[in-house]
């Protein structure tokens, strides 16, 4: 799905060779400041990040594509700290992003409300704006609604658990597992053991200075018991 | 950032209509004033009003206190009257009908029945909008007059009102904006050509929105409209105005005067979408929009709301204001002003609190691009008699590229019970917002539209539905290619 070859980002990540495959779930771990978020944002094409090496998405070179085009190809990133746009309600954002028209609007609003009620968001969540009176956890849940509504091939989530309550973590795990299928790719950055257990990733990646260590879920268990230096 | 697509090609209303017209030679003197008056067959009191104003104007210095820098108007090189040749009112030249059709202004009553299938019988249908169309110096058509008359509402050109309702015009003209008021209002009082007159009788809720569309077509002419709206006790009216002009290389002067009078518990909602030609990307041409708009909230608990979306004009200099005289009267000002290229705007409002328990709200959103200058200038004045007056002011500006935004609020309170609040913010569109929207698939233009529309939302919400859609569209066209 996404193939990185000899891929470097600014002065933060160097010479990464890795392929994220369709139908697979990945968890990315690593100590603070090592570049986990940077990796996700560089895949998304954030304009201030300078990259070198190759990055392909479904076989095509995307290194020159701006963020919006990468998004339209099927990449999605749930932010660690979602930005909100004043004056735009949570549903309007999706309405615009999906260019909904006519009857689609009602049907999508129904879906939106279904998702938001599952996530235990307030009943008028569609009309609210994440800018105002939304807690950190609610903002993260809103990103999950976006993921479910927008049809995407790759979901990258940057610490989606932070700020979520116990029930929120459960619905996060359910949401991600429901979303994932044989054709799409899930990539989650997290430090949270329960979330990793819930997702049951095929691969755990540990970002280290100048190298990437990959393994199965036992790699995560080792880190939780012995720390990053043990791997 | 590039401004490649930016310029007059985006101004889709910049076309010229070729037609026979009667245009005065350039120059201004007493004879010209007399000729305008006689062409309109005016009674002597009207001519006297004009002549007094003209005398006064000749002695006035042109004001220069604004933040604006522009090539001065040579008043002797302008023509003060231009009228398309119309034999009679029912025989509007096809070119004019085509012009308004191209601009989307419905001059046929049937077309104005928005959203209603035309093959149905329209006897019992109440239209949503009545239109007065002003082409250069004359009103060429007013729709739904008969329907409005059934409710006692008078909606016609001011020239016609001088003939048909002289007592009303005489009673109110110049009472809110006296002929001595300011340089441009005084000039207007001397040479005003046409404009709209509305009268809403006691207890009547005007059954449709009243819309005046101003079109400048002739080159090198000044346009001086005069609008007068009177709302009697317990009445309500929503009035809309729109305007466009061809893309000429010369500057065109537009100096209008608008006077509103609201009696006891009456409400006037006045909305403007101003889209005069802004000049090209080098600042050549464009309309000078020097307008005096003022409302007198005369009666108890009367209310006037000004809502404006300003995207056009090379230079804008205006402050739609409210004099809150009646006890408990309310004045509101909601404004979005967008400047780009070399445009300059010095605009805002004045809220003058005279009566007890009067209340005013000012929400101003300024957006500037390119090398433009966008100034908010507002004045809130609480007079000693205005016990318990309250004002809330919020001015936000959004800047891009090398543009300049200024906020100049003046507040003067002479009553210790008054409550005045002022909030202001200035900022640039954040890269963070643009990036976030990009991750959700929005290209740069769409992302900019979303951010700007969100920024303007408080004001757009105040516009009548149809107008809000138009304002939105206009804003999107204005933003097209403004970032790159």
Which of B450, B372, B74, B473 has its CA nearest to residue A96?
A: B450
Q: Do A96 and B433 touch (CB under 8 A)?
A: no
Q: Do B435 and A67 touch (CB under 8 A)?
A: yes
The answer as to whether A14 is a domain residue is yes
On chain B, the residues whose CB falls within 8 A of the CB of A152 are: none
Q: What pLDDT was estimated at residue B404?
A: 86
What would the two tokens of residue B69 be? 């820098």
State how far the Cα of B203 lies from the Cα of B466, in Å rounded to an integer: 25
Q: Do B453 and A87 touch (CB under 8 A)?
A: yes
Closest Cα in chain A to B460: A87
How many domains is chain A partitioned into structurally?
1
Task: Let me know: does B144 contact B109? Beta carbons within 8 Å.
Answer: yes
Partner residue opposite B457 with nearest CB, options A66, A87, A146: A87
The answer as to whether A141 is a domain residue is no
The range of the structural domain enclosing residue A222 comes to 2-85+152-230
Q: Which helix (H) or strand (E) holds B228?
A: strand B226-231
Shortest alpha-carbon distance between residue B87 and chain A (Å): 47
Q: Do B447 and A68 touch (CB under 8 A)?
A: yes
Residue A53, Ramachandran bin (φ over 0: left; ψ between -120 and 50: alpha; else beta): left
Best of A83, A129, A132 to disrupt the B interface (most B CBs within 10 Å) is A83
How many residues are there in chain A? 231
The answer as to whether A117 is a domain residue is no
Q: Do A86 and B454 touch (CB under 8 A)?
A: yes
Phi, psi of A199 (to 5 degrees): -75, -30
State how far the Cα of B200 lies from the Cα of B148, in Å rounded to an integer: 10
Partner residue opposite A68 with nearest CB, options B443, B450, B453: B443
Q: Do A146 and B456 touch (CB under 8 A)?
A: no
Which of B211, B288, B224, B216 has its CA nearest to residue B21?
A: B216
Shortest alpha-carbon distance between residue B93 and chain A (Å): 40
The answer as to whether A119 is a domain residue is no
Best of A47, A67, A145, A153 to disrupt the B interface (most B CBs within 10 Å) is A67
State how far the Cα of B438 lies from the Cα of A72, in Å rounded to an integer: 9
On chain B, the residues whose CB falls within 8 A of the CB of A71 are: 438-441
Cα distance between the two ends of chain B? 5
On chain A, the residues whose CB falls within 8 A of the CB of B456 are: 87
Q: What pLDDT was estimated at residue A181?
A: 96
On chain B, the residues whose CB falls within 8 A of the CB of A85 are: 433, 436-437, 450-451, 454
Q: Do A44 and B439 touch (CB under 8 A)?
A: yes
Q: What pLDDT was estimated at residue B305?
A: 96
Q: What pLDDT was estimated at residue B126?
A: 54
Residue with tokens 């959103």: B365
On chain B, the residues whose CB falls within 8 A of the CB of A96 are: 442, 446, 450
Q: How would residue A169 be classed by pLDDT, with cut points 50, 70 and 90? A: very high
The one-character DSSP state at A21 is P
Which of A23, A98, A20, A25 has its CA nearest to residue A57?
A: A20
Selected residue with higher pLDDT from B102 and A127 = A127
Q: Give the three-class secondary structure for B156.
A: strand
Weakly modelled stretches of chain B, pLDDT under 70: 1-10, 86-90, 108-127, 466, 480-484
Task: Let me know: does B364 contact B333? Beta carbons within 8 Å.
Answer: yes
Q: Do B441 and A82 touch (CB under 8 A)?
A: no
Please report the ipTM that was assigned to this predicted complex. Answer: 0.95
State how far the Cα of B454 lies from the Cα of B168, in Å rounded to an integer: 43
On chain A, the residues whose CB falls within 8 A of the CB of B451 are: 85
Q: Do A93 and B447 touch (CB under 8 A)?
A: no
Q: Do B454 and A146 touch (CB under 8 A)?
A: no
Residue with tokens 């002739």: B218
Residue with tokens 């610490």: A159
The answer as to whether A93 is a domain residue is no
The answer as to whether A42 is a domain residue is yes
Partner residue opposite A46 with nearest CB, options B435, B437, B440: B435
On chain B, the residues whose CB falls within 8 A of the CB of A72 are: 441
Phi, psi of A6 (to 5 degrees): 55, 40
Shortest alpha-carbon distance between residue A91 and chain B (Å): 13
Give B401-419 pLDDT, tens digit per residue.
788 888 999 999 999 999 9
Task: Let me know: does B193 contact B223? Beta carbons within 8 Å.
Answer: yes
Shortest alpha-carbon distance between residue B1 and chain A (Å): 14
Side-chain half-sphere CA neighbours of B158 within 13 A: 27
Q: What pLDDT was estimated at residue B123?
A: 47
Q: Give the three-class secondary structure for A220.
A: helix
Q: Do B432 and A83 touch (CB under 8 A)?
A: yes
Cross-strand pairs, B334: B307, B363
Closest Cα in chain B to A40: B439
- Quote the Cα angle for A176-A180-A181, to 5°: 165
Compute the average pLDDT of residues A180-209.
94
Partner residue opposite B454 with nearest CB, options A44, A85, A150: A85
DSSP string, B161-199: HHHH-HHHHHHHTTSSS-TTS-HHHHHHHHH----EEEE
Provide the Cα torsion B18, B310, A92, A147; round to 10°: 90
Q: What pLDDT was estimated at residue B9?
A: 46
Where are the strands (E) in A68-202, listed by range?
Answer: 75-78, 154-158, 185-189
Q: What pLDDT was estimated at residue B127?
A: 58
On chain B, the residues whose CB falls within 8 A of the CB of A91 are: none
A-B C-beta contacts closer than 8 Å: 61
Q: What pLDDT was estimated at residue B6?
A: 36
Q: Which helix (H) or strand (E) holds B475?
A: helix B465-479
Q: Give the three-class secondary structure for A45.
A: coil
Q: Which residues of A touch B (CB under 8 A)?
A: 44-48, 66-68, 71-72, 76-77, 79, 82-83, 85-88, 93, 96-97, 146, 150
Task: Give the domain CATH number at A67.
Answer: 3.40.50.300
Q: What pLDDT was estimated at residue A48?
A: 93
Q: What pLDDT was estimated at residue B459?
A: 86
Side-chain half-sphere CA neighbours of A32 within 13 A: 0
């Amino acid at each position: 799905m996404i193939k990185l070859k000899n891929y470097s980002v600014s002065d933060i990540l160097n010479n990464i060779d890795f392929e994220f495959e369709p139908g697979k779930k990945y968890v990315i771990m690593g100590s603070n400041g090592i570049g986990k978020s940077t990796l996700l944002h560089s895949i998304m094409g954030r304009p201030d990040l300078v990259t070198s090496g190759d990055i392909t998405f479904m076989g095509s070179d995307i290194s020159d594509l701006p963020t919006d085009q990468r998004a339209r190809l099927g990449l999605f990133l749930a932010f660690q700290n979602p930005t909100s746009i004043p004056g735009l309600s949570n549903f309007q954002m999706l309405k615009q992003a999906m260019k909904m028209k006519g009857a689609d609007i009602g049907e999508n609003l129904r879906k939106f409300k279904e998702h938001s009620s599952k996530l235990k968001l307030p009943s008028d969540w569609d009309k609210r704006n994440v800018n105002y009176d939304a807690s950190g956890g609610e903002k993260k849940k809103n990103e999950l609604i976006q993921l479910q509504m927008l049809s995407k091939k790759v979901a990258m989530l940057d610490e989606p658990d932070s700020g979520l309550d116990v029930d929120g973590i459960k619905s996060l795990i359910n949401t991600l597992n429901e979303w994932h299928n044989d054709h799409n790719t899930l990539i989650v950055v997290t430090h949270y053991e329960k979330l990793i257990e819930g997702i049951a990733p095929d691969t755990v990646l540990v970002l280290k200075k100048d190298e990437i260590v990959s393994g199965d879920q036992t790699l995560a268990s080792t880190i939780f018991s012995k720390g990053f230096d043990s791997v | 950032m590039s401004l490649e697509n930016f310029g007059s090609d985006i101004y889709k209303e910049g076309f010229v209509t070729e037609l026979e017209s009667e245009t005065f030679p350039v120059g201004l003197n007493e004879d010209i004033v007399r000729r305008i008056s006689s062409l309109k067959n005016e009674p002597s009191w009207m001519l006297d009003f004009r002549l007094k104003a003209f005398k006064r104007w000749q002695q006035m210095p042109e004001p220069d206190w604004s933040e604006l820098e522009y090539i001065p108007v040579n008043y002797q090189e302008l023509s003060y009257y231009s009228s398309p040749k119309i034999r009679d009112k029912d025989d509007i030249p096809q070119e004019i009908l085509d012009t308004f059709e191209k601009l989307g202004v419905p001059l046929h009553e049937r077309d104005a029945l928005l959203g209603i299938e035309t093959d149905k019988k329209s006897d019992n249908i109440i239209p949503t909008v009545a239109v007065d169309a002003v082409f250069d110096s004359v009103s060429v058509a007013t729709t739904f007059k008969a329907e409005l008359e059934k409710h006692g509402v008078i909606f016609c050109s001011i020239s016609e009102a001088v003939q048909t309702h002289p007592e009303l015009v005489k009673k109110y003209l110049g009472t809110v904006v006296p002929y001595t008021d300011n340089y441009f209002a005084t000039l207007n009082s001397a040479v005003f050509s046409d404009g709209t007159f509305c009268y809403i009788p006691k207890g009547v809720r005007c059954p449709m929105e009243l819309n005046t569309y101003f079109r400048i077509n002739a080159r090198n002419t000044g346009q001086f409209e005069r609008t007068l709206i009177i709302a009697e006790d317990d009445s309500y009216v929503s009035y809309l105005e729109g305007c466009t002009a061809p893309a000429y290389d010369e500057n065109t002067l537009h100096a209008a005067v608008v006077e509103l009078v609201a009696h006891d518990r009456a409400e006037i909602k006045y909305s403007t979408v101003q889209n005069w030609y802004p000049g090209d990307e080098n600042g050549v041409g464009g309309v000078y929009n020097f307008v005096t708009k003022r409302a007198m909230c005369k009666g108890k608990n009367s209310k006037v709301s000004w809502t404006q979306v300003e995207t056009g004009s090379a230079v804008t200099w205006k402050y739609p204001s409210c004099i809150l005289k009646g006890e408990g009267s309310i004045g509101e000002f909601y404004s979005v002003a967008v400047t780009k290229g070399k445009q300059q705007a010095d605009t805002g409002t004045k809220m003058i609190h005279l009566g007890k328990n009067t209340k005013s709200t000012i929400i101003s959103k300024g957006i500037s691009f390119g090398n433009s200058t966008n100034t908010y200038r507002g004045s809130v004045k609480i007079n000693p008699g205005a016990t318990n007056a309250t004002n809330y002011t919020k001015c936000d500006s959004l800047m891009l590229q090398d543009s300049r935004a200024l906020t100049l609020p003046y507040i003067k309170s002479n009553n210790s019970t008054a409550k005045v609040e002022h909030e202001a913010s200035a900022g640039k569109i954040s890269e963070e917002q643009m990036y976030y929207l990009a991750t959700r698939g929005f290209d740069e233009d769409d992302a900019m539209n979303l951010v700007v529309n969100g920024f303007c939302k408080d004001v757009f919400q105040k516009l009548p539905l149809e107008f809000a859609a138009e304002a939105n569209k206009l804003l999107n066209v204005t933003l097209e290619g403004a970032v790159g």
